[in-house]
A and B are shown apart, each in its own frame.
Chain A
């Protein structure tokens, strides 16, 4: 959790530093409670880094309401309301290492939305995403109590929930639905539930290649062979994208989205659901595709299913594993994109 923060502080520099600590509450019965002591250690380390060097601001987000309905995504987006809240900063860095997707996607989406809404000549901050990636540690963390129903993520539903536009204008049949799952290990339950939501006519799975483990794409195909067979996935539909370059994967997916849109135009177009089920690094590619599709009025959104909590295998020595984490930073809006 603190690797990104350490790196930023080490970079030095003067000027105002504000740090928003997002405390998301999964509830007393969350399986994550098993790791409360680790969480406390992280918090102690965080406080020791921040104290005296940054203004710490606590922001609490409830994941579910009193009726057990998911409210996390909307509440996360509500952390920021107006552009002028952001204009006091030259740079905003969102560290997503310890955040679930249902929180960091709407945060990034709302920030980009406010920035893009700025008038000509209005000052806007640079927006960066930072994350500490560790494939070995990730493989030891297991989703627990995956939600029964998948959903289209708030802010990224596009018109996938609009049923009337699902009818083709040339016939009375439904417009084709394409599903682009970005595959990672051990996501069978999630894939089954998202498939029930999306009901795809065609699937283009994204596999990480090149990958630090060259056999990883093959292993994923083997792992999901039953799903591929059941859903009649054609091998020629597989999209390969670099495991450590989300911008490349974003380009590959966006080209796929545009290509299907053009090819199926005569049938009324198509609706596309993207499911980031791999690493956080690759999830940024899905975010960029969905955000750009939204801006261009393309029917492409994020289909996702959350988990109630997460547990780590008991055998993991976190401090040892943590030392192998790699820090990534992505600059997704700002001066480097200025025309």
Chain B
């Protein structure tokens, strides 16, 4: 298969700033895109077939036998001619963009549509007269960097002309009107794949993928290691932590006994917990879950006519929901490591491979240091926890400098983090495993991005820019159609904190728990009061 990778992060957007008519700018844009597509395809063929540049003449692109006019040349053209043509077009347009005197720079831009998206059909491509390529795929990356006009033009052309080779488009989700620009039927004419959601729904797959990457890097290092995973100590079920966990159990137990001393209602629950088997860690989590259940039940205000023990009931469902919250609250209160282990490491990355590698690198540096000091090349849970907290602090402190609208972004994230922590630490754990995000109803969200509303409230424009910046820099992860409950008709837009930010704000790492807010409150969080219209 010939995969043609075309990043859109180059100088396309500068075309919009030339003092030309819009049709001329469109012509330049499409010509540049097609020229780059053509030269990327030809160099891809050379690479795939292990050919040299001087072998370009062996490639021909000819009429397709399927009779599609769009894909036809008048006569077969060889690769060298095409490459020279593409180079000439591209160089002339780039020179025009970079010129101090662009009006007097001629260009060779003559292409007004997606011509080469058809001509590069695998049936057309021959090497020494033989068809060697069975499939062609065009991959357009960073499409969100194009200007609004350019994105619109590209999507319109793709929809109208329907190229005969598949086209993948990768862009950041904060190019918010993506779906609105696409005409046609979803799943029939186009498919949207949200990478973060894809991996979020397949967390084990993601964990295996990133671990594979980390293992390869570890094997390539200059210390003898078969895998990264062998360096990461995944458990606190050992002698070092046993006493601490037993003390924890004892503290919680005393608290429970004190709380329920005047009632028999929870006797069966307590008895069941006392009979629980398992490691000290599992028992400690069990006791914490019990404490939360008792807290919830007693806060529920249900009066019992006769003081008799409540039945134990089916706890499986409750435990599945409470377990995450219990583990976090336990770790937070009793200073037990929480941010450790391979599974947590992959969750910390917020389904972003770069972030994963950043954190894994720091841990691996620790392994190398230990190896040099002739110690066991494994990182214990407490060290992992401390290192991850240090990485998170550095990550947060750099936000004002490295992120557009960084100061506002920092303020809003601080407010979300503090609010989330306050909600997470409630004794009844109402949103297990904890709150790690905020949500707006779709109606509120549409108000923020509505130009007319922004005229009325200029602070909404800043808020839109800040949210855009947070999404672009992976500080927030958005779920744009969150439905609360199966029967609810309302959708919400939920913004979850990057999991590394959760570490900084001392929050659990699970998704799910979020609290509602509104645009005005978010503006206050940013530190903006109402802006007077100019």
Contact = CB atoms under 8 A, between A and B. Distances in A.
Interface of A: 29, 31, 65, 67-69, 71, 74, 77, 106, 109-110, 113-114, 142-149, 151-152, 154-159, 161-165, 167-172, 189, 308
B43 A167 contact: yes
Contacts of B51: 172
16 contacts: A65-B17, A113-B101, A145-B402, A146-B401, A148-B403, A148-B473, A162-B91, A164-B83, A170-B52, A170-B54, A171-B52, A172-B43, A172-B46, A189-B401, A308-B404, A308-B406
- Pairs A-B, 6 closest by C-beta atoms: A172-B46, A164-B39, A164-B87, A157-B98, A145-B406, A189-B402
A149 B145 contact: yes
B147 A69 contact: yes
Interface residues of B, number: 46
B223 to A, nearest CB: 15
Given A67-B148, A68-B465, A69-B13, A172 B404 contact: no
B91 A164 contact: yes
Interface centre among B86, B407, B462 (most CB of A within 10 A): B407
A162 B40 CA distance: 11
Interface string B33-70: 00110011001001100011110000000000000000
B94 interface: yes
Interface string B380-409: 000000000000000000101111111110
The CB with the most chain A CB atoms within 10 A, among B46, B94, B98, B147, is that of: B98
Contacts of A156: 98
B325 interface: no
Interface string B404-417: 11111000000000
B53 A169 contact: yes
A163 B47 contact: no
Contacts of A77: 100
A89 to B, nearest CB: 19
Contacts of A169: 53-54
A165 to B, nearest CB: 6
Contacts of A157: 11, 94, 97-98
Contacts of A148: 403-404, 472-473
Given A145-B400, A157-B97, A169-B54, 14 more contacts: A29-B405, A31-B400, A67-B148, A145-B401, A145-B405, A152-B98, A162-B91, A163-B36, A164-B39, A164-B83, A164-B86, A165-B87, A167-B53, A189-B402
Contacts, number: 112
A144 B87 contact: no
B interface, by DSSP: helix, strand, loop or mixed? Answer: helix
B188 to A, nearest CB: 32
Interface of B: 9-11, 13-14, 16-17, 35-36, 39-40, 43, 46-47, 51-54, 83, 86-87, 90-91, 94-95, 97-98, 100-101, 145, 147-148, 398, 400-408, 462, 465, 472-473
Contacts of A145: 400-407
Most chain A C-beta atoms within 10 Å of own C-beta, residue among B16, B404, B473: B404
B147 A168 contact: no
B469 to A, nearest CB: 8
A165 B462 CA distance: 41
A31 B83 CA distance: 46
A147 B13 CA distance: 15
Contact of A69 (B16, B403, B405, B408): B16
Contacts of B40: 163
A31 B54 CA distance: 53
A117 to B, nearest CB: 8
Contacts of B43: 167, 172
Contacts of A110: 100
B53 A164 contact: no
A156 B17 CA distance: 17
Contacts of A69: 13, 16-17, 147
A155 B100 contact: yes
B400 A161 contact: no
A294 B183 CA distance: 45
B52 A172 contact: yes
B522 to A, nearest CB: 15
Contacts of B404: 145, 147-148, 308
Most buried by B among A109, A164, A171: A164
Contacts of B54: 169-170
A152 B11 contact: yes
A109 B100 CA distance: 8
A144 B90 CA distance: 35
Given A65-B17, A144-B400, A189-B401, A168 B53 contact: yes
A76 to B, nearest CB: 11
Contacts of B35: 164
Nearest to A193: B402
Contact of B36 (A106, A149, A164): A164
A189 B397 CA distance: 13
Q: Which of A31, A145, A152 has the most CB of B within 10 A?
A: A145
Nearest to A143: B401
B403 A163 contact: no
B406 A144 contact: yes
- Identify the interface centre among A68, A161, A171: most chain B CB within 10 Å of its CB: A161
B199 to A, nearest CB: 22
A69 B101 CA distance: 21
Contacts of A106: 100
A145 to B, nearest CB: 4
B53 A146 contact: no
A291 B509 CA distance: 52
A4 to B, nearest CB: 25
Nearest to A155: B100
A13 B125 CA distance: 73
Contacts of A168: 53
B100 A113 contact: yes
A154 B54 CA distance: 33
A161 B401 contact: no
Contacts of A161: 10-11, 94, 97-98
Contacts of B408: 29
B398 A189 contact: yes
B98 A154 contact: yes
A308 B405 CA distance: 8
A296 to B, nearest CB: 15
Contacts of A65: 17
Contact of A71 (B17, B148, B401): B17
B532 to A, nearest CB: 12
Contacts of A172: 43, 46-47, 51-53
B230 to A, nearest CB: 24
Nearest to A69: B13
A235 to B, nearest CB: 19
A65 B18 CA distance: 13
Contacts of A189: 398, 401-402
Contacts of A167: 39, 43, 53
Nearest to B365: A226
